[in-house]
Chain A
Amino acid sequence: MNKLICNSCFNFEFFETNIEYLREIKVKDGSLVINDTHFEDWNYTDTHFRDSLEDIVSYVVKSEMDALSWNSEKECHENSYIKCAKCGSSQVSIPSYMIKKKKHQSLEAELKENHQEYNNLRRKRNGNTLPVLWEPK
């Protein structure tokens, strides 16, 4: 399932974002030396970068509209974090079919609506050994 889509060119694979890349600096013989940072044998720069990228993508997918801001000049919603890598547009969002249309329904109405589905589940789980609650004489 596609997580994100560009609403300009309909690309759903290639995107761009800005991430902080952690560097370790030290001074050796008066010169500045820049490297990846390690804790024992573990490359923290790599892990930090990958985790940050995953966090941004997850946030944009989960927050739905919160990651978008209204651009009054272009009159469209733009993603504050992720851009399309193909056309450079900021009109990146989750696919519309993923946006949940919240309908107002009471719990009782929902239980009634799903009653048959629950019965089917019980039938699958218990097979033919469903308890007989009432039998006509």
Chain B
Amino acid sequence: MEIRCQSCGNQNSGFLLPLWSKTTFKLDHGGEIKILHLSPLESLEDKLTDNKIKKEITCKECGNCDVEIVLNEFEKSSSISSERQAFEGL
């Protein structure tokens, strides 16, 4: 897997992704908020496979949303080599 920022060239490190979560909290009499529990409403894996992640992921370095995600970086090279083998066979 590879993640690359198209704007600044940042590759594979420092990408921000918000995930919705449900939080239970307590309001004190003084108005202070105490966080009691946190449960995720979205899974990162689902977002990845549904390709929703591209719309929401941002680069930490430059804040740009133009991010390229390659789930299987070997897929392209293997398809090229298989095409080459097919041509050689012909």
Contact = CB atoms under 8 A, between A and B. Distances in A.
Interface of A: 1-4, 12-28, 30-32, 34, 37, 49-50, 53-54, 57, 85
A23 B35 contact: no
Question: For this complex, into which size category does the number of interface residues on chain B fall?
Answer: 20 to 34
B27 A4 contact: yes
B83 to A, nearest CB: 24
Interface in B39-63: 40-41, 44, 48, 57, 60
Q: Can you list the 5 inter-chain pairs with the closest CB atoms, starting with the nearest? A: A20-B18, A27-B12, A26-B13, A21-B21, A85-B24
26 contacts: A1-B29, A1-B31, A15-B27, A16-B22, A16-B25, A17-B23, A18-B23, A20-B19, A20-B20, A20-B21, A21-B19, A21-B20, A22-B17, A22-B19, A23-B16, A23-B17, A24-B16, A24-B17, A25-B15, A25-B16, A26-B14, A27-B1, A37-B60, A50-B33, A50-B35, A53-B23
* Interface of B: prevailing SS: strand
B60 to A, nearest CB: 7
